Amino acid sequence: MLDVIPRSCSVTYGGLNCRSVPSHIISITLNGEQYMIGTVCSEHFLSLRDGIDHLQDIGRIPKGKVAFQEVRTVATACFLNSNKNSYKI
């Protein structure tokens, strides 16, 4: 399976990285462009959501409109036929 987001939460506490699976993607829209800045697990979601303004004020993350998008798993019946160089989605 192709992973397009980090495998763990982006929160660090006490010098240790949280190893929990992300539940939300955090992005910031700045100057008309959207940037993914990290992921957060369900355990840290509320505290990070409530403290994001402070992180912007102290310069830890860029100022802009912050969005949280729930992570959803998507599965397809996709395969590669290397003999014919064709794809099926």
Residue pLDDT, tens place only, 51-79: 898 989 999 888 899 999 999 877 766 65
Cβ pair 53, 20 in contact under 8 A: no
pLDDT band at 1 (very low <50, low <70, confident <90, very high): very low
Cβ pair 59, 26 in contact under 8 A: no
DSSP-derived 3-state class of residue 10:
coil
**Alpha helices (runs of H) in the chain, residue ranges in sequence order:** 42-57
pLDDT at 73: 74
pLDDT at 23: 95
pLDDT, tens only, 22-47: 999 999 999 999 999 899 999 999 99
Say how many C-beta atoms besides its own lie within 10 A of residue 25's C-beta.
19
Tokens 């802009």 — which residue?
64
